Amino acid sequence: MSLWVQVAADLESQMDAGDLSPGSPLPSNVELAQLCGVARVTVQRAVLELRKQGRLIVVTGRDTFVTQQNGRQDHP
């Protein structure tokens, strides 16, 4: 399994468990890379995939946020 897939699965597990709740900001890619022990580009790929799935949303000029379970999000 690719590292980015593992990182995405880990983040998704944290979302499903409520550790990353809807509306909460995601740590920066640099912080996530350090926490996961992977390169920043690996985290970027994982975040991109979760954005495509509707699990994360980027609010320009603010942050990346966890969406509601169904992928809908009122902007925080």
> Which pTM was predicted?
0.84
Looking at residue 75, its pLDDT comes to 47
- Asked if pLDDT for residue 72 goes beyond 70, the answer is no
Tally the C-alpha atoms within 13 A of residue 62's C-alpha that lie toward its C-beta.
Answer: 13
Per-residue tokens: 68: 């509601």
- Residue 43 identity: V
pLDDT digits (tens, 9 = 90+) for 18-65: 999 999 999 999 999 999 999 999 999 999 999 999 999 999 888 999
Q: Which helix (H) or strand (E) holds 3?
A: helix 3-17
**pLDDT band for position 1 (50/70/90)?**
confident
